[in-house]
A and B are shown apart, each in its own frame.
Chain A
Amino acid sequence: MWRDAVLIAGKDLKIELRSRVATNQVAPFAIIVLVLFGFALDPDRTILQTAAPGLFWVAVLFCTLLAVQRSFAVEAADGAGDGLRMSGLDPAGIFLGKAAAIALELIGLEALLALGIVFLYGVALTGAALLFATAAAATVGLAACGTVYGVLAAGLRVRETLLPLLILPVVAPVLIGATQAWEAALGTSTDNGWKWVTLLGVFGVVYVTLGVLAFGTLLEEA
């Protein structure tokens, strides 16, 4: 299972490296979202700084949608999906591999977005341990959940419009938890941030387990 996961993750990342969709399209999109939030909330630094954790994680959610769509679009072309089904790889391994590739892309995008909120919104990043723990737990949850619903919608003609409708309500807890934890880390709230990291961890574990169990069935029918 683990060997298959590494194979699939390597394949997906190699495709992203060579096609440069993540770097040339998704990353600029993420920055544009941050800039648009800036326009929407006026260049009033205080509002942007208070809202920065929430805006950051909303931007991450949008990037997750794009990354998931991209991850399953590459399987849709040239019968690659059939190849994947016939390859004899463990479906759980395929799930973990695809989720890991999405997670790594997301971590890259989160690093970029973090730079974005520092430079564009003037946020001072504090509480590094909490920030990193939150980002790690939230990313695992987003990637696992995105992969489960990505394969659910893969192969449908309406997948581009259906995927946001399915994923966004489901990942709402991640948005809430990650925003609260970051607010605690950045000092905009006095809440205990680690409590929210636990919630994010539970969400991640639940979706990784679900994906490992259900991915085979869903892949067969995709």
Chain B
Amino acid sequence: MTVTHNKGTGNRTTRVLGILALVSMAAVIWLGLVVTPPDVNMGTLVRLIYVHPAVATMAYVAFGVTALASLLYLFPRTRSWRWDRLAGASAEVGVVFCALTLATGSIWGRPTWNVWWTWDARLTLTALLCALFIGYLALRRTGGAAEPRAIRCAVAGVLFSVVVPIDHYATQWWRTLHPGDTLDSLHPLIHGIQLWTMLLSFVAFGLVYAWLVLHRTRLEQLESRLENEGLALALAARRAEAAPRAPVPVHNGPPGAVPVAVGSAESAATDGGQP
């Protein structure tokens, strides 16, 4: 346990989450591909219902979390790097889910609507959302001083998330090819086991989202630590390499540099031991 703290971004929570995500995903795959019956109209295509809505919802959730974390960062009273990292991690995972939404939607659209893509309000807005958050991720990578960058990103994160509710209500506000709220409209029509599989798919993708975001947040934390303590850690590593071969006392090394490095390297090493 203590060793892995420095080697990865996992801990007991993420491991439990990861196992739960794997188990629930396996259950969704089994239920979705084997147990549930094909649809009368759509045939075996209906099985995409266990992927597409859940992935789309998680993209919304991810961007919502980005907006919330950005707001918390913008409020002076709750300003903390934790929120900045969470916003970034969630947006990154959100873009992946959003791209998956577009891909699975296209795969669904080709046989049912006979086109890969149509300029429908829901589809267009989802593509727009994806593009906006790709821009957000580009904005995060602009470098420069950390705090101005974080503030810029937080403002952009809040602004871009405005599209999420518009996208969600697009099927009600405009006439679209895309079906409306699936759970509401399908509830009486859908087979019992289909409904449960679909609900389980939301849980499974939710767990995957949480697992990814936790790891990504920790990775950002490690990245910023590397930036701050990288030199001291590198010196400590070189010293550790040299130590077994030539156990020379510290004061025999190059003058000046080494004693300074020892102090900072040791403090960095003890800091690094904290989870």
- Size band of the interface chain B makes with A: 10 to 19
Stretch at the interface among B34-42, B61-69, B151-159: B151-159
**Chain A residue with minimal CB distance to B162?**
A206
Q: How far is the CB of A142 from chain B (nearest CB, A)?
A: 16
Query: Is A210's CB within 8 Å of the partner chain B?
Result: yes
**Chain A residue with minimal CB distance to B142?**
A156
Stretch at the interface among A78-86, A111-119, A214-222: A214-222
Query: Is B147's CB within 8 Å of the partner chain A?
Result: yes
A169: contacting residue among B131, B144, B155, CB under 8 A: B131
Q: How far is the CB of A54 from chain B (nearest CB, A)?
A: 12
Query: Is B17's CB within 8 Å of the partner chain A?
Result: no
**Chain B residue with minimal CB distance to A170?**
B132
Question: Which B residues are in CB contact (< 8 Å) with A162?
Answer: 135, 138-139, 142
For the complex, what is the distance from the CA of A169 to the CA of B134, rounded to whole Å? 10
Query: Is B250's CB within 8 Å of the partner chain A?
Result: no
For the complex, what is the distance from the CA of A78 to the CA of B138, rounded to whole Å? 27
Question: Which A residues are in CB contact (< 8 Å) with B152?
Answer: 152, 218, 221
Known A217-B155, A218-B152, A221-B152: A156·B144 in contact at CB below 8 Å: yes
Q: In the complex, are the beta carbons of B155 and A166 less than 8 A apart?
A: no
Query: Is B188's CB within 8 Å of the partner chain A?
Result: no
**Chain A residue with minimal CB distance to B159?**
A210
For the complex, what is the distance from the CA of A129 to the CA of B195, rounded to whole Å? 53
Query: Is A40's CB within 8 Å of the partner chain B?
Result: no
For the complex, what is the distance from the CA of A210 to the CA of B143, rounded to whole Å? 25
Question: Which B residues are in CB contact (< 8 Å) with A217?
Answer: 74, 151, 155
Q: In the complex, are the beta carbons of B142 and A169 less than 8 A apart?
A: no
Question: Which B residues are in CB contact (< 8 Å) with A156?
Answer: 142, 144
Question: Which A residues are in CB contact (< 8 Å) with B159?
Answer: 148, 170, 210
Q: In the complex, are the beta carbons of B151 and A166 less than 8 A apart?
A: no
Query: Is B148's CB within 8 Å of the partner chain A?
Result: yes
Question: Which A residues are in CB contact (< 8 Å) with B148?
Answer: 155, 221-222
Best-surrounded residue of B138, B155, B160 (most CB of chain A within 10 A): B155
Q: What's the dominant secondary structure at chain B's contact region?
A: helix
- Mask of A8-29 contacts with B, CB within 8 angstroms, 1/0: 0000000000000000000000
Known A214-B155, A218-B155: A169·B143 in contact at CB below 8 Å: no
Query: Is B128's CB within 8 Å of the partner chain A?
Result: yes
Q: In the complex, are the beta carbons of A172 and B128 less than 8 A apart?
A: yes
For the complex, what is the distance from the CA of A221 to the CA of B128, rounded to whole Å? 27
Q: In the complex, are the beta carbons of A165 and B135 less than 8 A apart?
A: yes
For the complex, what is the distance from the CA of A152 to the CA of B156, rounded to whole Å? 8
For the complex, what is the distance from the CA of A221 to the CA of B74, rounded to whole Å? 13
Question: Which A residues are in CB contact (< 8 Å) with B160?
Answer: 170
Question: Which B residues are in CB contact (< 8 Å) with A172?
Answer: 128
For the complex, what is the distance from the CA of A146 to the CA of B48, rounded to whole Å? 40
Q: How far is the CB of B63 from chain A (nearest CB, A)?
A: 14
For the complex, what is the distance from the CA of A167 to the CA of B197, rounded to whole Å? 40
For the complex, what is the distance from the CA of A162 to the CA of B153, rounded to whole Å? 13
Q: In the complex, are the beta carbons of B135 and A166 less than 8 A apart?
A: yes
A158: contacting residue among B128, B132, B142, B155, CB under 8 A: B142
Question: Which A residues are in CB contact (< 8 Å) with B143?
Answer: 157
A166: contacting residue among B74, B139, B147, CB under 8 A: B139
- Mask of A194-221 contacts with B, CB within 8 angstroms, 1/0: 0000000000000000100010011001
For the complex, what is the distance from the CA of A158 to the CA of B144, rounded to whole Å? 11
Q: How far is the CB of A1 from chain B (nearest CB, A)?
A: 20
Q: In the complex, are the beta carbons of B135 and A169 less than 8 A apart?
A: yes
List 20 A-B residue pairs with CB atoms under 8 Å apart, sorted by A's residue number.
Answer: A148-B159, A156-B142, A156-B144, A157-B143, A158-B138, A158-B142, A162-B142, A165-B135, A165-B138, A166-B135, A166-B156, A169-B131, A169-B132, A169-B135, A170-B159, A172-B128, A217-B151, A217-B155, A218-B151, A218-B152
Residues of A that sit less than 8 Å from B by CB: 148, 152-153, 155-158, 162, 165-166, 169-170, 172, 210, 214, 217-218, 221-222
**Given A169-B131, A221-B148, 14 new contacts (CB under 8 A):** A152-B152, A152-B156, A157-B142, A162-B139, A165-B138, A166-B138, A169-B132, A169-B135, A170-B132, A217-B155, A218-B151, A218-B155, A221-B152, A222-B148
